[in-house]
């Protein structure tokens, strides 16, 4: 089977994007296929594989697969890339669109060179609670953006050993479906520095849902104002959240790198 793809990234969080609205609409990749396409040595390479399908609930439906082949609920940087991809390829005819995901229907809007996404209302599952049992970490704030996040505020995000602690939290028994993990330093009430260990992908240069969860956690701990910046390894996202019951809005860039075709 020949697969046409486009390589994209959002702040260095990179994706293999596939148009599955036509001949590929019946194809649902196996974990092995998804992992192969994202393999940086034998495949194309990427943090996630994103497929756009027809939808009877929205303009399009997005399926998301992590680098290990596992299918997940949502990808914030990915949905910005998919929105730009869909607009440029004529899959949608407007700058404002709806995209169905396992986490719900998202509403990206292309604004100049960036994409702003209504990510829906977060679910806060614990503020400044005890860290996972047996792990010598600071208090944890758990936030769901349709996918799970465990946020830890640390004194120095740059030097924090993310590769050591990230997988221990991700795979801890208290998270039966595993979790994304964010280590965050508050710089001021409008700026935080975040490093991330993504579930099924490891350290990535940026995480959109993680940035949303991080900023919601900062506000919930009275560490940040309603609108601010999340500084990631690959760049900066703007996040806005007006409080409980309100949607989180994420704004940032999406970049197309190259297109090609691969045999599967």
Distances in Å between the Cα of 68 and the Cα atoms of 24, 48, 261 are: 22, 9, 21
The rounded distance, in Å, linking the Cα atoms of 141 and 129 is 6
Query: Which residue blocks in 138-199 are alpha helix, DSSP H?
Result: 162-170
75 is catalytic: yes
Please confirm, yes or no, whether 207 is among the known catalytic residues. yes
Dist. CA 248–CA 244, nearest whole Å? 10
**Which of 106, 57, 102, 56 lies closest to 82 in space, CA to CA?**
106
Q: Round to the nearest angstrom and report the end-to-end CA distance of the chain.
A: 5
At 205, give phi and psi (nearest 5°). Answer: -75, -15
**Packed helices 76-88 and 208-220: angle between N→C axes, nearest 10 degrees:** 130
Q: Which of 81, 82, 207, 212 is catalytic?
A: 207
Identified catalytic residue from 75, 81, 82, 212: 75
Active site (catalytic) residues: 75, 207
């Amino acid at each position: 089977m020949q697969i046409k793809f486009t390589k994209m990234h959002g702040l260095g969080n990179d994706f293999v994007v596939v148009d599955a609205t036509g001949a590929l609409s019946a194809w649902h990749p196996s974990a092995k296929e998804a992992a192969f396409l994202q393999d940086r040595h034998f495949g194309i390479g990427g943090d996630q594989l994103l497929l756009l399908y027809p939808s009877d609930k929205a303009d399009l439906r997005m399926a998301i697969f992590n680098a290990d082949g596992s299918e997940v609920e949502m990808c914030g940087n990915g949905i910005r890339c998919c929105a730009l991809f869909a607009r440029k390829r004529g899959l949608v005819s407007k700058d404002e669109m709806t995209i169905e995901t396992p986490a719900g229907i998202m509403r990206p809007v292309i604004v100049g060179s960036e994409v702003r996404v209504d990510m829906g209302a977060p679910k806060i599952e614990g503020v400044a609670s005890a860290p996972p049992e047996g792990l010598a970490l600071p208090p944890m704030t758990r936030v769901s953006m349709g996918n799970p996040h465990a946020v830890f505020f640390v004194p120095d995000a740059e030097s924090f050993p993310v590769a050591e602690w990230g997988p221990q939290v991700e795979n801890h028994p208290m998270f039966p479906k595993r979790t994304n993990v964010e280590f965050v330093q508050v710089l001021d009430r409008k700026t935080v520095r975040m490093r991330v260990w993504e579930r099924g992908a490891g350290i990535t240069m940026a995480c959109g849902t993680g940035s949303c969860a991080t900023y919601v956690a900062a506000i919930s701990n009275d560490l940040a104002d309603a609108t601010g910046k999340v500084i990631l390894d690959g760049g900066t996202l703007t996040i806005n959240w007006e409080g409980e019951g309100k949607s989180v809005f994420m704004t940032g860039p999406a970049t197309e790198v190259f297109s090609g075709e691969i045999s599967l």
